[in-house]
Amino acid sequence: MATADPASAAAASALPVLSARGVSRSFCTGRGEVAAVREVSLDVHAGELVVLTGPSGSGKTTLLHMLSAIATPDAGAVMIEGQPVAALDRGARADLRLARLGLVFAQHNLSPALTAAENVDLPLALRGLPRSERAARVTDALGRLGVGALAERFPDALSSGEQQRVATARAIAGAPAALVADEPTAHLDSDSARAMLVLLAQLVRERGMAALVATHDPQVLELASRVVRMRDGRVLREEQES
């Protein structure tokens, strides 16, 4: 794992960007109630790349959904930049995600009616940013992800890996306080996956962004500030470079 630099160490003493305190969440299935996450506490600070690992079904995605104000915990509390999410209504949570979070999930959620560039631009337009600033951010983000030449293509003309990179470009274009990503390299070949992970680590350092990434990809472990291992809805242990 990467050794934390002085800036990251200083950031770690500040208020966390993402914080979970004793959160739990269960689902009802045909076989009864299933506990997806059990009393998990986790902080992610500015300048940290925290990697969440564990087998499928260990609760990683559910935890990400709670920390990104998509899902509500049955118990415990989630805070984003010190703001208790439970105090916000649905509209306010959506506004918070739009303004402060960059989200990348296994389903790319690209609009089929918009080009790659328009998909990246849409959240920026919803925030009311000036057109010239939006254009610069879109060009920069697509270029960083290596899909600048595909800006005018529609999603159905892109491979799954290209769609993944466009979705990631959309997430970073807004300069979020925190990036929350669920298997961001799942549809990429090893070289493209490595390039994306190096980019995310670079953005964490350059922008002081917080990043929480759930993955099975071993390449990301060496880039992480901290690795959190989950099983059966619980945190087994955390590993941090001293």
Task: Name every residue whose Cβ is closer than 8 Å to that of residue 129 and which is 6 or more positions away in sequence.
Answer: 137
- Among all chains, which residue has been given the structure tokens 């079904």? 57
pLDDT in tens, 19-47: 999 999 998 887 778 899 999 999 999 99
**What is the predicted pLDDT for the residue at 157?**
98
Per-residue H/E/C for the chain: CCCCCHHHHHHCCCCCCEEEEEEEEEEEECCEEEEEEEEEEEEECCCCEEEEECCCCCCHHHHHHHHCCCCCCCEEEEEECCEEHHHCCHHHHHHHHHHHEEEECCCCCCCCCCCHHHHHHHHHHHCCCCHHHHHHHHHHHHHHCCCHHHCCCCHHHCCHHHHHHHHHHHHHHCCCCEEEEECCCCCCCHHHHHHHHHHHHHHHHHHCCEEEEECCCHHHHHHCCEEEEEECCEEEEEEECC
**What is the predicted pLDDT for the residue at 121?**
99
Q: What gap in Å lies between CA 211 and CA 154, rounded to an integer?
A: 28
Domain boundaries, the chain: 6-240
**What is the predicted pLDDT for the residue at 11?**
45
User: What's the predicted TM-score (pTM) here?
Assistant: 0.89
**What is the predicted pLDDT for the residue at 8?**
46
Paired with 32 in beta bridges are 29
Q: If you classify domain 6-240 with CATH, what class do you get?
A: alpha beta
Other CB atoms within 10 A of residue 212 CB: 25
- Among all chains, which residue has been given the structure tokens 């799954």? 160
Paired with 26 in beta bridges are 35
Assess contact for 233 and 13: CB atoms under 8 A: no
At residue 43's C-alpha, the angle toward residues 41 and 47, to 5°, is 165
Per-residue pLDDT of the chain (242 residues; tens, 9 = 90+): 544 454 444 444 489 999 999 999 998 887 778 899 999 999 999 999 999 999 999 999 999 999 999 999 999 999 999 999 999 999 999 999 999 999 999 788 999 999 999 999 999 999 999 999 999 999 999 999 999 999 999 999 999 999 999 999 999 999 999 999 999 988 888 888 899 899 999 999 999 999 999 998 888 888 999 999 999 999 999 887 54
**What is the predicted pLDDT for the residue at 5?**
52
Assess contact for 2 and 205: CB atoms under 8 A: no
Residue 61, Cα to own-chain centre: how many angstroms? 11
**What is the predicted pLDDT for the residue at 241?**
55
pLDDT in tens, 84-109: 999 999 999 999 999 999 999 978 89
Assess contact for 200 and 188: CB atoms under 8 A: no
Assess contact for 219 and 226: CB atoms under 8 A: no
